[in-house]
Amino acid sequence: MSLLKEPDFGTPERPGEATVSVEVDGLAVTVPQGTSVLRAAALAGVDVPKLCATDSLEAFGSCRLCVVEIDGRKGTPASCTTPVAEGMRVRTQTPRVAKLRQGVMELYLSDHPLDCLTCPANGDCELQDMAGVVGLRQVRYGYEGENHLAAEKDVSNPYFDFDPSKCIVCSRCVRACGEVQGTFALTIEGRGFDSKVSPGAGELFQDSECVSCGACVQACPTATLQERSVVDLGMPTRSVVTTCAYCGVGCSFKAELRGDELVRMVPYKDGGANEGHSCVKGRFAFGYATHPDRVMKPMVREKTTDPWREVEWDEAIATVATKLRDIQQRYGPGSIGAISSSRCTNEEVYVLQKMVRAAFGNNNVDTCARVCHSPTGYGLKQTFGESAGTQDFRSVARADVIMVIGANPTDAHPVFASRMKRRLREGADLIVIDPRRIDLVRSPHIEAAHHLQLKPSTNVAVINALAHVVVTEGLADNSFVAARCEGFEEWAEFVARPENSPEATEPITGVPAGELRAAARLYAQAPNGAIYYGLGVTEHSQGSTMVMGMANLAMACGNVGREGVGVNPLRGQNNVQGSCDMGSFPHEFTGYRHVADDTVRTVFENLWGRELLPKPGLRIPNMFDAAIDGDFRGLFVQGEDIAQSDPNLNHVTAALSSMELVVVQDLFLNETAKFAHVLLPGASFLEKDGTFTNAERRVNRVRAVMPPKTGKHEWQIICDLATAMGYPMAYDHPRQIMDEIAQVTPTFQGVSYELLDKLGSVQWPCNADAPEGTPTMHVDDFTRGKGRFVVTNYVPTDERTTSRFPLVLTTGRILSQYNVGAQTRRTGNVAWHAEDVLEVHPHDAEVRGIGDGDTVRLASRVGETTLRACVSDRMPPGVVYTTFHHPVTGANVVTTEISDWATNCPEYKVTAVQVALVHPLEAAATGAAEDDRLAVRD
């Protein structure tokens, strides 16, 4: 594909049924009411010159280049700010407007460097284009007048340059920062000729509130804001549309290349999830794919103390196959298993679980979703009948009240957060339920109506109290409940009990009863109330109970089955939804169908030609326990770093150390690889062909931008291994794998690469009933028929604070880093977050003599680590917070074995800890030791 340039209609679409017919340069066009003349002209095929207008932003009317003449109207109105009217006749090319446009361009160019041939935006500059379009042949003002050509360039940002000498002050960047991203970091400073774009109050970009989403760079019509990679490498020449491999939003990007060299990632306007927006990770942090740390050749070693030995693929595959079969012969067929990755494609995950079930001959396959969203799968299946969120992302634009529970979208799901913030700026109300004061609670033009700052581990008590208010104050949607649900009476009787009232739960949750009652009323009485949640819900001993509690609340208020409502998990990794859909759980085949279901199992047995086990296999924590017990001896880890991401790392590493064979398939020698005997090099998302499924059930194509640098696709590695183990598995192309998935999975029945290429993406269920997918689920009926209310008894966690461990640690994620950091730590993103820090409330810091930046020891009953303190009142007293992006910190050394009762999802969010100041001399020694360790590792 050559370089893909998407059309720019100048101003945003104005959806609506009412239409208006107009004539532009003699061409008739009918457009929705409210459409601008500029957009109507573009839809008629007439390009009106423009500079300050672009269709991702509201019209601004400043450049005066899009002026037109309209019959019967005086003057030359700007077509971007003029809405169409019935019968309007527009002329876009007249001597009068031509003269005006030339005059405007002359003024612009009199204060613009004339270095087009050496400018990085040469060939991608709208100012250059417009000079040609208006037929500019002279600049009567000359170039010697007062100008901005000496303005200093800001190169502080790792990814883009800001060259104010090239700025035409069109405000597109400022508006993009506000309207698209919602950060409002940029402004126009000064007046008149002194007007200039400024990040913050005269700060450098890197020092400002800029979040480096790239919206300003995208919007800039000149080289003022320019990707550093374009400056360094030149303009790309071809595009490949693919899907980001970071969070569960699943943004579509144009990978723009010169030859096989990736120059930049540009958000794709037709991407269903992101519609042209991006965040700092997807837009810029792709350098890890070519990082020198990448492992390119398979490696083996007998013992983990031996040095690695590079081998050819055949030897590596044969080694793994022989050793796995040998372990099974000695310890039984159930002594080996595999962990699938939420970073891999659906096709890669599907063949992995197929290998386990058919070639290994057991059900010991689990996925990293075990440690994040497995309670979502359980809870939503129990209540709604389907293990997935109910809405598409666009739905939030119809929400009147948005309840965010245990999620931090601006850091962890930033592109969706921008959608949400747009709706909040339009007037939707916000309720935040979180122990931490996340940015959404109060940020530019946004303030939560209620922040229920609950104590960690009391989610279920809070959701029951909210439900108590709904039921006892007569706020339930009785007609919805009567028509669509079952089990309401028993549940209503339960939540109405006095012990579930806000007043009774206040001492447990710490949430003032009056505030909670007001929040419940706000949600229940909203025309559309939507719930969005994250790992602050699931990663608890009652994670599954809380998911069911939210589903109960939504059903009770009639907030399911249409746009603007629903219960929506914000998935952590790019393909959490997909890896779960693809049968990665040890008790389920694809499409969440239990292995004990004879009818379903027969389908797979017939297709795969093997008898399959009807009993569940081991989950990840069960594998670790079984390894320590000695009857689980071999593990294949696909693209996960369990020795950094999983809880109670001492237990994890003991389990890994006790196995005879650990196989790691990854881009890098990660922490888990320290315990591995075979390393199979993986392919980056730029080298993959397949699909990811995002948090809104959207199946997106992942297209290979370049061939695998390791010489083998990851799905081929699995097929080769299964074949070497005596179970032939072969496909010519991942499209055949998807065809097989569609063949055996009712919710994927209609999915094919042909359909995805045609529609761009599709949200499952996609089948005969919904040939183009299902944006909103449970519209007329729930998947299970009736929505099921489940009694959600609050059970306090076993993890309690004591005099020895008096604080509660909770963990989270930061914008610039991703998960265990294996990717983002190998990019320029380290400029923002070079280490994990511990947020400590000023009171807790003071009584411990801890100052901002001090090194502190963080200890729980299972382990301890050291890190730097950040004194912050984001957390309430008694609660501390950190991230787990850096292996040096090892935050999961202190997290415990406690897990969700239903799914064994770890309780990362609640660990009783103590924090103590490390003496400066000891801290210096520790720092030196860590430097040595890093030096050795690198």
Query: What is the contact surface with other proteins in residues (CB under 8 A)?
Result: 332-335, 362-364, 494, 541-542, 545, 586-587, 594, 596, 613, 615-619, 621-622, 625-626, 631, 791, 793, 795, 798-800, 802, 861, 897, 899, 901-904, 912
**Diameter of the chain by CA atoms?**
91
Please, which residues have CB within 8 angstroms of residue 922's CB and are 6 or more apart in sequence?
none
Evaluate whether 746 touches 591 at the Cβ level (below 8 Å). Answer: yes
Q: How far is the CB of 332 from other proteins (least distance, A)?
A: 4
Strand partners, 807: 913
Nearer to other proteins, 375 or 558 (CB): 375
Ramachandran angles phi, psi of 681, nearest 5°: -65, 135
Residue 204: CB partners within 8 Å, gap ≥ 6?
154, 156
ω into 586 cis (within 30 of 0): no
Closest CA to 550 of 695, 410, 421, 375: 375
> What's the rounded Cα separation, in Å, for the pair 251 and 272?
8
Q: How many CB atoms lie within 10 A of CB 321?
A: 18
Rounded distance, CA 78 to CA 90, Å?
Answer: 12
- Closest approach of Cβ 454 to other proteins, in Å? 19
Nearest approach, Cβ of 903 to other proteins (angstroms)?
A: 8
Torsion angle, CA of 897/820/658/938, rounded to 10 degrees?
-150
State the Cα–Cα distance between residues 819 and 823, nearest whole angstrom. 9
Q: Which is nearer to other proteins, 627 or 870 (CB)?
A: 627
Least distance CB 253 / other proteins (angstroms): 38
Shortest distance (Å) from residue 333 CB to other proteins: 6
Please report where in the chains the tokens 């881009």 appear, as a residue: 667
Closest separation in Å from C-beta 545 to other proteins: 6
**Type and span of the H or E element at 29:** strand 27-32
Nearer to other proteins, 391 or 622 (CB): 622
Euclidean distance between CA atoms 267 and 283, whole angstroms:
7
Residues in CB range of 815: below 8 A, 6 or more apart: 211, 279, 280, 281, 410, 411, 412, 414, 832
Q: Are 593 and 363 in contact (CB under 8 A)?
A: no
Nearer to other proteins, 205 or 494 (CB): 494
CB of 908 to other proteins, least distance (A): 16
The nearer residue to other proteins, 29 or 649, going by C-beta atoms, is: 649
The amino acid present at 527, given as its one-letter code, is P
Given the complex with other proteins, which of 298 and 334 has the nearer CB atom? 334
To other proteins, the closest distance from the beta carbon of 525 in angstroms equals 29
Which is nearer to other proteins, 621 or 681 (by Cβ)?
621
Assess contact for 618 and 626: CB atoms under 8 A.
Answer: yes
Name the minimum Å distance from CB 800 to other proteins.
Answer: 4
Whole-number Cα distances in Å, 343 to 220, 339, 652 = 32, 12, 21
Shortest CB 436 distance to other proteins, Å: 22
Amino acid in the structure at residue 847 = V
Least separation in angstroms between residue 704's CB and other proteins is 36
Nearer to other proteins, 309 or 800 (CB): 800
Residue 598 has, within 13 A of its CA and on its CB side, a CA count of 0
- Choice between 703 and 909, CB closer to other proteins: 909
Between 464 and 691, name the residue whose CB sits nearer to other proteins: 464
Q: Residue 808 is encoded by which pair of tokens?
A: 């509660």
Distance of closest approach, residue 568 Cβ to other proteins, in angstroms:
24
The smaller minimum CB distance to other proteins, of residues 541 and 774, is found at 541
- Are the CB atoms for 838 and 915 separated by under 8 Å? yes
Is residue 574 within 8 A of residue 244, CB to CB? The reply is yes
Q: Is 698 helix (H, G, I), strand (E, B) or coil?
A: strand
Select 246 or 624, whichever has its Cβ closest to other proteins. 624
- Give the residue with the Cβ less far from other proteins, 31 or 656: 656
**Quick check: helix, strand or coil at residue 406?**
coil
φ, ψ of residue 400 to 5 degrees: the values are -100, -35
Helix (H/G/I), strand (E/B), else coil: 161 = strand
Nearer to other proteins, 93 or 793 (CB): 793
Of 335 and 827, nearer to other proteins (C-beta) is 335
Minimum Å gap between C-beta 901 and other proteins is: 4
Residue with tokens 């997909």: 578
Instruction: Name which of 69, 188, 76, 166 is nearest 122 in CA terms.
Output: 166
924: its two tokens: 């210096």
Nearer to other proteins, 220 or 369 (CB): 369
* Tokens matching residue 299: 């490696």
- Measured from the CB of residue 331, what is the shortest distance to other proteins in angstroms? 9
- Facing residues of 432 across strands? 404, 451
Closest approach, Cβ 359 to other proteins, in A, equals: 15
Identify whether the C-beta of residue 721 lies closer than 8 Å to the C-beta of residue 351. Answer: no
- What whole-number distance in Å separates Cα of residue 244 and Cα of residue 267? 9
CB of residue 616 to other proteins, shortest distance in Å: 6
